[in-house]
Structure 1
Amino acid sequence: MTNDETRGGQYADVNGVHLYYEVHGTGGPLVLLHGGLGSGEMFGPVLPALTEHHQVILPDLQGHGRTADVDRPLDVRLMADDVAALVDHLDLGPVDVVGYSLGGGVGLQAAIRHPATVRRLVAACAHIRRDALYPQMLAQQAQVGADAVEFMKQTPMYELYQRVAPHPEDFARLLDKIGASMALDFDFSDGVRGLQVPTLVLAADADMAPPSHYVEVFALLGGGQRDGGWDGSGRPDGGHALAILPGLTHYDLFASPLFAATSLAFLAG
């Protein structure tokens, strides 16, 4: 392992990826997974709340932040394998996983593919079908690629990448790989339907997909089928839950105190 002098992080070599991660706080282990074109730093506003009762492990996913890209596609399933390998590397045992956007998709796949690794899961802003997105979002995603570098230079994502990435010149490559990933059709309904890990489906009320999609995901987990009952006996088997957070969008939910509080309440359940 080597230390990152700027934030006290370390690297673990897992699945051919030199994976950067940080550890903050003490308590039950919680792996916190960032969104696309971001890094663990994006959770700065909510990290103090999350570390009050948890040891938070903050990885930078493949090609993001301080983790250099490798010669493979950006695929949530492969990145989920990286997360599971990191948990094994750190000898943490079952961990709570909280993922946002891309990280939410990675978290879902970690729970599907490595259920013994995940104790409870919060999947935030993570759609499970490509066609669940609003048509204008699909049109915007189709524009993501190396040609968008000049436009992206005006964004915090570009500034972050230039500041921390091992190879800042690879930003165009990252955009190409993310664009290629978003262009692929997918439907993870079958995997979600078989989830054995207690899962909170969480989204903003003005997210990239309509609230009805996240209700659909909850339904795959047995939610929303009947009255919950005075004693809660009518809640879905498996401990699953749904939260649509008010007054938020896909682009500010990760920094909201509501996101932190709702996630923590579910993890403590």
Structure 2
Amino acid sequence: MGAYAAINGDGLSMYYEVVGEGEPVVLVHGTGGYAGSWAAQLDLLADWYRVYTPECRGHGRTADVEGPYSYEVFADDLAGFIEALDLGPVRLAGWSNGASVALRLALRRPDLVSRLVLLSGATTSREGETAAATALSVEPGRSWLAETWRPLYEALSPDGPEHFPVVEEKLNRMWREAAPVAMEQIAALPMPLLVMQGDDDCVEIAHAAAMAGTAPDGRLAVVPGTSHVSPMEKPELVSLLLLDFFEEKPPTRYFPLGSLRSAAEAACTIARAA
């Protein structure tokens, strides 16, 4: 089911689709994406949750509005969406550019996010990016990336094909000028965090592991044999990982070795079970 929600009082009317019943899950697409970007995950997740897939400003069927883009602007749009539909706190997952938006929302409005998934994105600095990912913000990578999502934009945008260069320039400027998120901010996240990506993705695996390890309740999932679009390449596995994280039923950890304290706790647990 598709509908529009009035956001932030600045003329933004955000298109979204919703399916399923239960507690709310919000899935945020990446650059050039739309609600259908998450189609492969909906069959499983909608059996457990009411799943919302909004389209950000200048994407899909959501018209652009005046003003520059920033991750903070997109995060405020998303906060407005959650509040307009009275959904919060939600289980939130962002993919690629959507991960950077989801992270900013979690930092700015932690009251709206109960569990956070950063999929294939949300590097805390350009140092965590692979060289290939960095090359997409400059020529010839910039033009190549633009041409990959231009057809979808032209097919769906209410602003018409002629507006595409405006949106592309706003996005590119946002990537170039975005302020990084520091590890100290990751360490302050109050909600459980799952950092997930392909093993041939835009973020160095060591950097993703550092993010997950810095969060107070962080987990890391590397989807083997996949790239920046793991939800399309291994949809069942990605869906199961999302469902496992969204379900608040953590198993007993019988042999954790991440710290001396966790090892001591494991020993006690094993002794009690013997």
TM-score range, shorter chain: 0.7 to 0.9
2:115 aligned partner: 120
Structure 1 counterpart of 2:206, which letter? S
C-alpha contact 2:132 2:202 (8 A) present in aligned 1? no
Structure 2 counterpart of 1:134, which letter? T
Pairing 1:263–2:242 present = yes
1:78 aligned partner: 73
Q: Which secondary structure does the structure 2 equivalent of 1:254 belong to? A: helix
Quote the offset at 1:60 in angstroms: 0.2
Quote the offset at 1:242 in angstroms: 1.2
Quote the offset at 1:254 in angstroms: 2.5
Name segments (4+ residues, structure 1) moved above 3 Å: none
Picking from 151, 166, 174, the partner of 2:167 is: 174
Quote the offset at 1:113 in angstroms: 0.7
Structure 1 counterpart of 2:242, which letter? S
Structure 1 counterpart of 2:187, which letter? R
Pairing 1:34–2:29 present = yes
Pairing 1:243–2:221 present = yes
C-alpha contact 1:142 1:183 (8 A) present in aligned 2? no
Quote the offset at 1:213 in angstroms: 0.9
RMSD: 1.9
2:190 aligned partner: 196
Q: Deviations over 1:26-64 (max 9, x none)?
A: 111000100111111111122111211010111101111
Q: Which segments of 5 or more consecutive residues in structure 2 lack a partner in the other structure?
A: 249-274
2:266 aligned partner: none
1:132 aligned partner: 128
2:157 aligned partner: 165
Quote the offset at 1:92 in angstroms: 1.7
1:213-232 aligned within 5 A: 213-221=207-215
- How many residue pairs were aligned? 241
Q: Structure 1's 245 and 49: CA in aligned 2 closer, same or farther, altered over 3 A? A: same
1:230 aligned partner: none
Pairing 1:254–2:231 present = yes
2:102 aligned partner: 107
Quote the offset at 1:265 in angstroms: 0.2
Q: Which segments of 5 or more consecutive residues in structure 1 lack a partner in the other structure?
A: 1-7, 222-236
Quote the offset at 1:68 in angstroms: 1.1
C-alpha contact 1:144 1:179 (8 A) present in aligned 2? no
d(CA) in 1 for partners of 2:174, 2:81: 23
1:229 aligned partner: none
C-alpha contact 1:61 1:67 (8 A) present in aligned 2? yes
Q: Structure 1's 42 and 185: CA in aligned 2 closer, same or farther, altered over 3 A? A: closer
Q: Deviations over 1:72-107 (max 9, x none)?
A: 222222111111111111112311101111111111
Q: Structure 1's 136 and 52: CA in aligned 2 closer, same or farther, altered over 3 A? A: same
Quote the offset at 1:19 in angstroms: 1.0
Structure 2 counterpart of 1:28, which letter? E
Pairing 1:98–2:90 present = no
Q: Which has the higher helix share?
A: 2
2:255 aligned partner: none
Give aligned-pair identity as a percent.
32
Quote the offset at 1:185 in angstroms: 5.1
Q: Structure 1's 82 and 152: CA in aligned 2 closer, same or farther, altered over 3 A? A: closer
d(CA) in 1 for partners of 2:97, 2:136: 16
1:206 aligned partner: 200
Q: Structure 1's 35 and 61: CA in aligned 2 closer, same or farther, altered over 3 A? A: same
Q: Structure 1's 93 and 152: CA in aligned 2 closer, same or farther, altered over 3 A? A: closer
d(CA) in 1 for partners of 2:146, 2:190: 39
Q: Deviations over 1:95-153 (max 9, x none)?
A: 110111111111111111111111111111122212321233222311389x838x844
2:262 aligned partner: none
Structure 2 counterpart of 1:249, which letter? S
d(CA) in 2 for partners of 1:143, 1:55: 41
2:137 aligned partner: 141
